[in-house]
Structure 1
């Protein structure tokens, strides 16, 4: 199992739109989002908000058997939910589908696990 923690900016003026996105994927789009993540092989997704002097950021933790394959699936899926999600993350974070296909957005340097 692979995991990655990474950060993405919430573009200036987009915090309320980001909050609405989170409400949608926890509310009316919850099942679509769950099916999307299962289809892509994502086993865990944790999303947090971080306020810094440099602005607002989203903190992400993703876990899957093959993260590169998972990110490529996000970038290339023609599923309506995935297309909607890509549009939202581009509007809120500036992340494009092309960025998800390239190298991982972060590299793992240390991973401690008890037991």
Structure 2
């Protein structure tokens, strides 16, 4: 299982909500194929408020969860390029930089 917590730019909240909704609607077939390709059986995201601002908490479950983002970062397939573009737009993620370590379970 992978959990990612990333800040969400204030000016991008409504655009992120629309994008998230599109992954369950008009882009659902592509999103489902994308998840199957990377061995994810569950891929959910929540919008959360923190004292530091809004964040997105994403959960990736399935046999491909541990290296999911690393594999997406290396891909040049069309949906993966689109997905990375959106993550960069909304969260400032840099897929050219080394990946950040995944959260470590403490309890």
Whether TM exceeds 0.5 here: the answer is yes
Aligned with 1:82 (options 80, 86, 92): 80
Q: Are 1:109 and 2:106 matched, yes or no? A: yes
Q: Report how far residue 11 of structure 1 moved.
A: 1.1
Name the residue aligned to 2:38.
40
SS at structure 2 position matched to 1:14: helix
Q: Higher Cα Rg: structure 1 or 2?
A: 1
TM-score by length of 1: 0.81
CA–CA distance in structure 2, aligned partners of residues 70 and 88 of structure 1: 16
Unaligned stretches of 5+ residues in structure 2: none
Are residues 30 and 17 of structure 1, via their aligned partners in 2, closer, same or farther at CA, if it must alter by over 3 Å?
A: same
Report the alpha carbon displacement of residue 103 of structure 1 after superposing the two structures with TM: 4.5
**Is 2:62 the counterpart of 1:64?**
yes
CA-atom RMSD, angstroms? 1.8
